[in-house]
Amino acid sequence: MSDIEILSQPNRRRVKDKPGFLNTAGKVLRLQWPLYLMVLPGVVFFILFKYIPLFGSVMAFQDFRITRGIFGSDWVGLKHFIQFFTYYDLQKVFWNTLVIAALNLVFTFPAPILLAFLFNEIKNRYFKKTVQTLSYLPHFFSWVVIAGLTYDVLSQNGIVNSVRALMGMDSILLMQKAAYFRGIIVITSIWKEMGWGSIILLAAISNINPEYYEAATVDGAGKFRQAVSITFPMLLPTIVILFLLHIGNFLELNFDQIINLLTPMTYSVGDVLETYVYRIGVQGGQYSLTTAIGLFQSVIGFILITVTNKLSKMYLGEGIW
């Protein structure tokens, strides 16, 4: 036996003794099957409602007919995309979507961050827990309930107009005025989701080393200075991740919220892509056009999250991949 063969024998034995991938996977599955069982419903959900529907995107390039199905419908190329970009009503709907999405990004997204900062400064534990619980509660109400409360508060005999009457001012039908609709959307979004959105940020704040605050106090830094120089920089990675997740759904507004608050008098400023898709797709049966709109939203979301993630990693060193 040559020297080369002798030297190579241990290597061959070590490779042979290594367990195969299937054996390792089977062993891990047997040991950790409860964890995989917990994950299974989420995996099934994403397969059924996220991945399988992707095959239906071909309807955007067809004149889809239910009687013919996907394989029997005529191909029309970019016809529905051209209609989307040139039809006046769709341009107005797209503009409404952009405006409301931008308002949500500017006002609704920072609200949980500000609330988390305020909660962090409350020292009385019982008071803090009580206020936190009250801020979480609206998240568990459906938008039907929230819309009903909003109509009652802003109605002619509601709290707002009752206060205006006491001050000698005329009542205003706020829900029927197009000028107030977008503001109502933003305010109700903040009220409903602000407390719930602050949970992740409060968890991140709790992981900050208290010694940083103690050292800052010794150096004479006040609460505002501590928040700016310690809390915010420590929270920045979490804020960046939340922002990236939010920007990916920039054009996807809350359908339940808008459809329940929308009135015929506010269609000019409140009719967005989701409500338009519901009206012409579900009620009107124009499945190809609505599929094209949905595909356009997905592509824009993908581009936004990809670009912002790259910029975030370039300048802040944080990203979601």
The pLDDT of residue 65 is above 90: no
- pTM of the full structure: 0.83
For 220-230, what is each residue's pLDDT tens digit?
A: 888 889 888 89
How much is the pLDDT for 72?
87
pLDDT level of residue 85 (50, 70, 90 thresholds): confident
How much is the pLDDT for 7?
45
How much is the pLDDT for 151?
92
User: In sequence order, what are the residues at sequence separation of 6 or more whose Cβ sits closer than 8 angstroms to the Cβ of residue 243?
Assistant: 109, 308
For 290-307, what is each residue's pLDDT tens digit?
A: 999 989 998 999 999 999
How much is the pLDDT for 6?
45
The mean-pLDDT minimum among 11-20, 28-37, 69-78, 167-176 falls in: 11-20
CA gap 66, 45 in Å, rounded:
25
The pLDDT of residue 27 is above 90: no
CATH 1.10.3720.10 spans which residues of the chain?
Answer: 78-315
Q: How far is CA 81 from CA 47, 52, 273, 279, 291, in A?
A: 27, 22, 14, 18, 10
CATH number of 78-315: 1.10.3720.10
Average pLDDT, whole number, for the chain?
Answer: 87
Give the bridge partners for 62, in sequence order: 75
